Amino acid sequence: MNKYNLKSVAKNVLIGEGEQLINAADRISDKMEIACDIITNHNGKIVISGMGKSGLIAQKIAATLCSIGNEAVFLHPAEAVHGDLGIYAPGDPTILISKSGATDEIVRLIPILKEFNSPLIGILGNMNSILSNEMDLVLDASVSKEVDPLAIVPTSSTTLTLAIGDALAAVLMTNKNFNREDFARLHPAGDLGRRLKLKVKDIMQPIDKVAVVDSNDDLRNTVIKMTEKPQGAALVLNSEKILMGIITEGDLRRSLANEIDIDNSKANEVMSTNPIAIKVNSSLSEVISLMEDRESQISVLPVIDQSNICLGLIRIHDIYQTQLL
């Protein structure tokens, strides 16, 4: 098999899995509200169970639900009858995952779970199966084919099941108005959590550590100040500390390359007017988007308050250094 064919195999897998997701969308969406009601109307935990590859997907879904503030646990179906059923409280909803809809270890749990009065939500790959008849609600995870070369390896089926779990998580988030602050509170140690929880004011360079010049200052004086306070830029402010412009190291290099006379040039001849600025209480996530989600990335941003008074600047270096802590 040549390299071109190998590329085609990879491409066909991705296309095939995407097609299965699209085909399942209409089958799933109308039942998600019911699943949401079952979960949100119970104050206890959500138990998620599956065997083999389905069990791995179940663990990921449980982790996702926990990450958005839902108490969720994975229950290994074979271990359940050896003591792990102790995690249950009466009425805890259970999500059971099975491609065949006839997984022995799960089928054996059904009578026990009904004794716990556990509402049963099935994510099943076979709608005409033993388990489908025992569920209170079934989310249809059937696929027309697996997309590996042999059409037997769990590929599109596990992807679809995982996506259904993601869809359920999104529905639960929307239903309870879960926001960025909620996410940050649950992820204080992760990179995403830091981006959402930390504010510009927490890591910015304050104005007394930044080169500040007047628009009529000569360029040599600007260069001297930027050398004394090497933050990558000089802020051009008026007498009321309102931001008039910014001069970056890149601006200076371009000006010198054009043979500008630094003794007979003013800051206002080099500065960028109406520069992009960030509010002091903005999150790091907002800063990163403003700096990087653009054709030409920005390495420094002036920081302003609600009255547009300049308070300092923030560098992309400050953000990355924080992420390493």
pLDDT tens digits along 81-133: 888 999 999 899 999 999 999 999 999 999 999 999 999 999 999 999 999 99
Model pTM?
0.69
pLDDT attached to residue 137: 96
List b or e across 178-212, with b for residues whose CB sees 16 or more CB atoms inside 10 angstroms. Answer: beeeebbeebeeeeeebbbbbbbbebbbebeebbb
Question: What percentage of residues in the chain have a pLDDT greater than 70?
Answer: 94
Residue 258: band (very low, low, confident or very high) from pLDDT cuts 50, 70, 90: confident
Domain 3-178 top-level CATH class: alpha beta
Band the pLDDT of 189: cuts 50, 70, 90. low
Instruction: State the fold for domain 197-323.
Output: CBS-domain (3.10.580)
pLDDT class of 324 with cuts at 50, 70, 90: very low
Over residues 263-299, the pLDDT tens digits come to: 888 989 889 898 889 999 988 878 888 888 877 788 8
Other CB atoms within 10 Å distance of the CB of residue 296: 4
- Provide the percentage of residues in the chain whose pLDDT is more than 90: 64
Q: Give CA–CA dist 233/32, Å, rounded.
A: 52
Strands 300-304 and 278-279: parallel
If pLDDT is split at 50, 70 and 90, which confidence band does 325 have? very low
Domain boundaries, the chain: 3-178, 197-323
